[in-house]
Structure 1
Amino acid sequence: MTITAPPRPEAAPTPPARPSALRRTGGFLLRQWRRLTAMRTAIILLFLLALAAIPGSLLPQRSLSQSNVSQYFADHPTLAPVLDRFYLFDVFSSPWFAAVYLLLFVSLIGCVLPRALEHARALRAAPPPAPRRLTRLPDSAQLATALPAADVLDTVEEELRVRRYRVVRRERNGAAELSAEKGALKETGNLVFHLALVGLLLALAGGKLWGYEGSILVTEGQRFCNSFQQYDTHSSGALVEGSDLTPICVGLGDFRAEYEEDLTASSFTADITYGAPGEEGRPTTIGVNDPLRIDGDRVYVTGHGFSPTFTVTLPDGTSFDDVSNPFLPTDQRTMASEGALKLPDLGAGTDDQLALQGFFAPTGLVQGGILTSIDPRPLAPQVAIVAYQGYLGLDSGLPQSVYSLDASQIERGRLSEVARGNLSVGESLTLPDGTSVTLSGYKEFAALQFSHDPGQVWVLAAAIAVLAGLLGMLLLRRERVFVRTTGRPDDGGTVLEVGALARGSGDSAPRFTALTDDLRAALAARATTRAPSGAAPQTGGTPE
């Protein structure tokens, strides 16, 4: 009698372990990193960066011209605040532009660097072995020759090396074969293009971080030194301090503007002097497209205008000769300008301060009692002025523009209009207290911009590298040629199998035909030199 034990209950299958939260998070981050560093993502981000730069070209930017931005707000009071909310007047310093810029930078680095390392290894590697069946390649042919296999391969190798192929000979499965390739610089050009693009982004970022620029209006006979306190407007990178500015002073001697027959400006030239503070300046001439270049710094002429000069004579005979201030152009076609002149110190014996607000016309014409300008050239300069006396508020602690009066002082009655009139050169306007204001003439001023961009040279080098890489990527061809020899049992000759593989080079059939023709001719020539006297060499071949 056999006693069998009852069957054991089968254990329930153990459920697969669920991945931990850390592993899931790591896998998610890895997938996102691969998406970010894909070439497709880099191309999309590059397109978005170009698209994001369009508003910066179409709309005025605060970093370039605050006055143009203010004018846009005045012309479009409803639309401008909406655009400003999206940083469209500060495009290149906006958070969304910086986000696209940084994502593109990270994407290019993550995409290009691994490819560069892989390509460096590929450059040192030998050409790959020939495929098992050369007839399956896009271009293939067979050539028959009476030469032995060693001589055939010697001849083919010589021809390929003349064509700048890298050649490797191998023995596989009892057959001699040859692998050759050229055009590896095509991929090098591709990598140079993308690496140079990364360098270009780095150079632009470095120029923004360590660069600065300032704009100032300088009247003939005046000078300025490179200091943020002297500029009308300035901007600087996050890593720039006041002590980092180049110690240089620039003085304006004579400014000349030339015009076409239709009164459009043809050229601006300015005679300037420049040098370190305390030194005698060195003279030079600059223009719109010919700035002063000194050790990475640039001084540009960006515009011009007029500064009418006045002689103010007080009742006691005290005279202030040739006082002036730039009047800002309101019409670039006729150079009609508006501005103000503030005289806070008129001497002892009076508490009133004097201010002149006016309109300057280089070639003035009065129509219906209103002065207008009909020509940008100073043929008949006139000025329409309104004289104010009272308190200017210069010591109130609130900032004021030097080119206009503080309207709040007029509204509060602290500045009162005392006289107005139109003056030509030499004419005077007498105020009620006996003060005389005479238009003594005019001077021209130049709008100068001082720029320091340490990344300019690197930007140029990166741009040249981008162009060189692009040319290499477009003009070079990547080609591989494989050759295998097999013996002919009937006469002891050799059958030469040739196959070629080209990538990104268009129609490769004509080049392959030219290669096989040259190989056939070289084999025939070698067979002729080896054939005994009176014997006819046997060469031939029929392309597939």
Structure 2
Amino acid sequence: MTGDKTRASALTPLEFARFLWTQLTSMRTALSLLFLGALAAIPGSLIPQRPVSPAQVDKFLTDNPRLGGVYEALGLFNVYTSPWFSAIYLLLLISLVGCIIPRCFVYARALRAEPVAVPSRLDRMPVSASAPRSGSAASALDRGEAWLKQHRYRVRRERGALSAERGYLREFGNLVFHISLVFLLIGITWTVTFGYRGTSNVLVGQGFSNTLTQYDEISSGPAFTDADLAPFSVVVEDFEAQFEQGEVNTGQPREFALLTRVVDEPGAQPREYVIRLNEPLEVRNTQIHLLGHGYAPQMTVRDGDGNIAWQGPSMFMPQDGNLTSTGVINAVDARPERLGFEGFFLPTGTVDEMGPRSLFPDALKPQVFLTAYHGPPKHETGVPTNVHTLDKNGLEQFSRPDGSPLAFKMDVGETVELPDGRGTITFDGYQRWVRLQVSHQPGMGFTLASVIVAVLGLCLSLFVRPRRLWVRVDDDRLDVAGLDRADARTGLADEVEQLAESVLGEETRHD
């Protein structure tokens, strides 16, 4: 007996696969996967991601080697492309498809089917009405059928009774909403797989070519290659920034306008375009946004031999709304010792109890505050370094005669001599730079269309009222009843009364 029970309880491979499919395509599983996907996305917003901020990931690994190793093993630095997140995403897509397809067949059968038969006890319905009647039953049913069709009901006529139903678009909207979610996931996958997004800091007066070497940072999908970069170039002609100067909201940005000259393809004539914050430039299905801006002080560094070791602009990175900016100047070619400088650029500079800072984001009183370093020439390794940080290995900070660290302020045109004849540095002026974001998202239009269709489907499922009405005509009595198939609906009692009036041609008496 026990063996028979064991054999009966054992599942064949086909039955087990069918069981797994049933569990996967249940609504409970779909909701669980959706919630699990939301939880899995949390680390992506809390932990730096390598495709977006590789420098921050490297810094995190340096500062937290043990924890960083755990995160690396779990794929938390690449959450959205990790195998476990992709598995959740794929299972959610399969679950949605598995839920939708059977419902589509059920809905198709419901469209072909007639309204349900008239219940035997209409007085048990949520709303009902009855009245004595006289005259022809066929004429009464004709009047009721005409009223129902006028109000967009599908009508089934039986012997002495009518059954009517409307609201089929509610389930249609529900299906459209869920199908659009599937297409939304497909669109996101398309964009993530084949798209890319990168940023580049460009000095005003210089240009940007859409090649990998021109990007400061770039993140792309697994199917992306450098051959997918559209061939175009952008020259930054001018940049205009306007800030609020009144007593209210002083320093708040009013308008940013970036004048560019664009060459769409090799050999084409350049065209001018103005990029604003909410008005990107689109070139060959690639969008170019203005993300930010800053200042690049123009410096000239002469070494101890009197030769120019560095000359040109150096981009300083903004730290606050008034564009107090930090940066470095690496004069690695200086001899007999290499020189390095780090400090602040202040568009409208001042020094108070808070230290050097800018009072206004526009360059009304530009100043540079620097500290200087010197050291033996460094052997070139060919390994790229961060141009925004100063590698102090082997460097020593200059000191004053009293032993305190050397720090100095410079106005435009000022030159500072370094101690012991090791060189000079001159503040020649400044240039502006802008941060451009270049992005290609091939599935964005498809995704947007899916969102719009999903919203329309959701509106149908929320606002369409599925409702059933019945009419029964006996020898001397009329019974009318109604049922709403969705909660929180109103107007059912009014429709029942109007239907009864149309059948009778007179006022009804409610039970």
What TM-score bracket applies, with the shorter chain setting the length?
0.7 to 0.9
Write out per-residue CA displacement over residues 254-279 of structure 1, whole angstroms, 9 at most, x where no aligned residue. 22334443434454332222223454
Aligned residue in 2 for 1:228: 212
Q: Quick check: 175-184 or 13-22, which moved more?
A: 13-22
Matched residue SS, 1:126: coil
Deviation at 1:86, TM superposition (A): 5.4
Residue 423 of structure 1 pairs with residue 405 of structure 2: no
Q: Which residue of 2 aligns with 1:532?
A: none
Does structure 1 residue 189 correspond to structure 2 residue 176? no
Q: When the two structures are superposed, what TM-score results if normalisation uses the length of structure 1?
A: 0.79
Q: Does 1:284 align with 2:273?
A: yes
Deviation at 1:459, TM superposition (A): 1.5
1:245 is matched with which residue: 221, 224, 229? 229
CA shift, 1:20, in A, is: 9.3
Instruction: Return the offset for 1:132.
Output: 3.4
CA distance in 2, matches of 1:155, 1:219: 80
CA 1:258/1:540 → structure 2, altered by over 3 Å: closer, same or farther?
A: closer
CA separation in 2, counterparts of 1:217 and 1:439? Answer: 22
Q: Give SS of 2:213's match.
A: coil
Mapped pair 1:213 → 2:201:
no
Among 465, 476, 488, the alignment partner of 1:506 is 488
Which of 286, 296, 300 aligns to 1:311? It is 300
Counterpart of 1:439 in structure 2 is 427
User: Shift of the alpha carbon at 1:229?
Assistant: 1.7
Q: Distance in 1 between matches of 2:251 and 2:46?
A: 26
Q: Which residue pairs with 2:446 in the alignment?
A: 458
Cα shift at 1:222: 1.1
- The equivalent of 1:27 in structure 2 is 15
Superposed, which structure 2 residues align to 1:115-134 within 5 Å? 115-134=103-122
Pairwise CA distance, 1:117: 2.4
Q: 1:521 aligns with which of 490, 501, 504?
A: 501
Change (3 A) 1:88 1:427: same
More displaced 10-residue stretch of structure 1: 22-31 or 122-131: 22-31
Name the larger-Rg structure.
1
Q: What is the aligned length?
A: 496
Answering whether residue 467 of structure 2 is matched by residue 479 of structure 1, we say yes
CA distance in 2, matches of 1:81, 1:377: 44
SS of alignment partner, residue 132 of structure 2: strand
Amino acid at match of 1:506: A
The equivalent residue for 1:178 is 162
- 1:148 maps to 136
Task: Give 2:347's aligned residue.
Answer: 362
**Alpha-carbon distance in structure 2 between the residues aligned to 1:543 and 1:339:** 84
Instruction: Pick one of 293, 316, 319 that aligns with 1:327.
Output: 316
**Per-residue displacement from partner, 1:36-63 (whole Å, max 9, x unpaired)?**
2111222232233334434444555444
Q: In the alignment, what sits opposite 2:372?
A: 386
Deviations 1:309-349 (A, max 9, x none): 123567998769961121223x2234232333445678xxx
Gaps of 5+ in 2: 397-405
Between the aligned partners of 1:262 and 1:168, the Cα distance in structure 2 is: 72
Contact persistence 1:53–1:92 (CA under 8 A): yes
Classify 1:81/1:281 alpha carbon distance in 2 versus 1 (closer, same or farther; 3 Å). Answer: farther
Q: Give the drift of 1:457.
A: 0.8
CA contact (8 A) 1:340 1:404 kept: yes
TM-score by length of 2: 0.84
Relative to structure 1, the CA distance from residue 243 to residue 267 in structure 2 (aligned partners, 3 Å threshold; closer, same or farther) is same
**Percent same amino acid at aligned positions?**
37
In terms of mean alpha carbon deviation, does 377-386 or 87-96 score higher? 87-96
2:32 & 2:446 partners in 1: Cα distance? 25
- Give the drift of 1:186: 0.7
Residue 321 and residue 94 in structure 1: after superposition, are their counterparts in 2 closer, same or farther (change >3 A)?
closer
- Pick from 247, 257, 262 the counterpart of residue 241 of structure 2: 257
Change in Cα spacing, 1:516 to 1:477, as seen in structure 2 (3 Å) is closer
**1:377 and 2:362 matched:** yes
For 1:78 and 1:259, locate their aligned partners in 2 and report how far apart those are by CA, in whole Å: 46
- Does the CA-based 8 Å contact 1:272-1:286 persist in structure 2? yes
Q: Residues of 1 paired with 2:255 and 2:36: CA distance?
A: 37
Q: What is the CA–CA distance in structure 2 between the aligned matches of 1:288 and 1:242, rounded to whole Å? A: 27
Deviation at 1:403, TM superposition (A): 2.5
Decide whether the 8 Å contact of 2:115 with 2:154 is kept in 1: yes
Report the counterpart of residue 403 of structure 2 in structure 1: none
Q: Distance in 2 between matches of 1:392 and 1:357?
A: 18
**Residue 381 of structure 1, CA deviation:** 1.8
Q: 1:278 to 1:324 in 2, by over 3 A?
A: farther
1:492 aligns with none
Out of 75, 91, 94, the position equivalent to 1:103 is: 91
Q: Tell me whether 181-190 or 248-257 shows the greater mean CA deviation.
A: 248-257
What CA distance in whole angstroms lies between the structure 2 residues aligned with 1:345 and 1:277?
Answer: 36
> 1:353 and 1:326, CA in 2 relative to 1: closer, same or farther beyond 3 A?
same
Structure 1's 182 and 294: CA in aligned 2 closer, same or farther, altered over 3 A? farther
C-alpha contact 1:313 1:437 (8 A) present in aligned 2: yes
Q: Distance in 2 between matches of 1:283 and 1:405?
A: 38
Amino acid at match of 2:211: S
State the Cα distance separating 1:299 from its structure 2 match: 1.1
Moved more, 140-149 or 20-29: 20-29
The aligned amino acid for 2:98 is G
Deviations 1:379-409 (A, max 9, x none): 222221526475455x523221232344446
SS at match of 2:473: strand
Match of 2:102 in 1: 114
Partner of 2:458: 470
Distance 2:302 2:189 in 1: 54
Amino acid at match of 1:242: D
Question: Could you tell me how far apart the structure 2 residues matched to 1:70 and 1:377 are?
Answer: 34
Q: How does 1:2-17 map to 2 (within 5 A)?
A: 16=4
Equivalent residue runs for 1:335-354 within 5 Å: 335-342=323-330
In the alignment, is residue 398 of structure 1 matched against residue 383 of structure 2? yes
Q: Distance in 2 between matches of 1:76 and 1:424?
A: 41
1:135, 1:462 → 2: CA distance? 45
SS in 2 for 1:462: helix
Q: Distance in 1 between matches of 2:124 and 2:167?
A: 22
